[in-house]
Amino acid sequence: MATGSTFEVGRMRVRILDDGVFVTDAGNLFGGSRKAKIKGAMHPILIETGEDLVLVDAGFGPGLPEVLVGRYELRQERNLMDHLQDAGHSAEDVTRVVLSHLDPDHVGWALEPPSFPSATVYVQEAALEEARGMPDGDGRREAVPAVERGVEEGWCELLSGDGEVVEGVRVEVRSGHSEGHQIVWIESGDSSALYTADLAPAKIWLNPDLIAGVDTDPEAARRNRIEVLEEAEKRDAPVILYHEPGYPLVKVRRSEKGFDAVPIED
């Protein structure tokens, strides 16, 4: 079923794209003063439904945002736009962009400046509300003016809860990492795939007890992670791990420590 980083769900084709990798001190993700370096990828996904081209999350954009300079390093030999082009699409072809939440490593190409002139960008109202309350200099707060402008200009749509963005692409609010954090189910008949965003962003996060220092509500993150991964296992759904530095497409199985990633069979 999986060939490289492209697979099908019913008649939809899902492509796992790439927007480089970041390197930062572990302390920036887990809290405390840990100096060990940690590396994460950015894997936005593109869903070709036949009628729509849906991009889910949008990397850091062309460069590291000002607020993260000095704390994060961004390595981008080829970026999201290059990979979009490799897939045979231009930025103008994208019709919808779903943003899981407003952290700068997820909204980059979508907001400032908006790179997808034909697309509607979907943001949960609760995520915007939380970002408005963040202090100056916070990454989420930085996204607020662009989202507000998008709403005013009509290219950004605020969602309040779960729902289908287009047929077969359904968002579900699973907060914890942020308020209004949304995951994406890609569904056709009995087959489905799951994009977990930062609820379970890499293989190490399949352990429900690993809580990020940056999670808004750690208890909600833990509970939602277990529920969502159990659902993925029950459905035998491939799971796309946005920040996984290794191979980002896995299936999950309950284990003693939480969940294991198992290789996808062809």
Query: What token pair was written down for 65?
Result: 């945002």
Measured from the CB atom, is 84 or 241 closer to Zn ion? Answer: 241
Rg (CA), the chain: 17
| Calpha distance 80→19 (Å, rounded) | 5
Measured from the CB atom, is 49 or 100 closer to Zn ion? Answer: 100
Quick one: which segment of 13-21, 110-118, 145-153, 195-203 binds Zn ion (CB under 5 A)?
A: 195-203
* Number of residues this chain uses to bind Zn ion (CB under 5 A): 2
The residues near 64 (Cβ < 8 Å, ≥ 6 apart) are 72, 73, 74
CB of 179 to Zn ion, least distance (A): 15
59 backbone φψ class: left, alpha, beta (φ>0; ψ -120 to 50): left
CB of 228 to Zn ion, least distance (A): 16
Of 102-121, binders to Zn ion (CB under 5 A) are: 105
Measured from the CB atom, is 49 or 203 closer to Zn ion? Answer: 203
Decide: 196 and 242 in contact? Cβ < 8 Å.
yes
18 binds Zn ion (CB under 5 A): no
Element (H, E) at 37: strand 37-41
CB of 69 to Zn ion, least distance (A): 17
Quick one: which segment of 22-30, 139-147, 197-205, 206-214 binds Zn ion (CB under 5 A)?
A: 197-205
Measured from the CB atom, is 48 or 105 closer to Zn ion? Answer: 105
Quick one: which segment of 53-61, 112-120, 135-143, 196-204 binds Zn ion (CB under 5 A)?
A: 196-204
CB of 257 to Zn ion, least distance (A): 22
CB of 103 to Zn ion, least distance (A): 5
Rounded to the nearest angstrom, the gap between the alpha carbon of residue 127 and the centroid of all alpha carbons in its chain is 14
Three-state DSSP at 111 gives helix
Name residue, tokens 């794209």.
17
Interior CA angle at 179 toward 253 and 140, to 5°? Answer: 110
Decide: 169 and 54 in contact? Cβ < 8 Å.
yes
Q: Of 105, 60, 96, which Cα lies nearest the Cα of 79?
A: 60
Quick one: which segment of 99-107, 131-139, 162-170, 217-225 binds Zn ion (CB under 5 A)?
A: 99-107
Measured from the CB atom, is 105 or 112 closer to Zn ion? Answer: 105
The residues near 37 (Cβ < 8 Å, ≥ 6 apart) are 23, 24, 25, 26
**Residue from 198, 208, 239, 258 in contact with Zn ion (CB under 5 A):** 198
Q: Interface residues with Zn ion (CB under 5 A)?
A: 105, 198
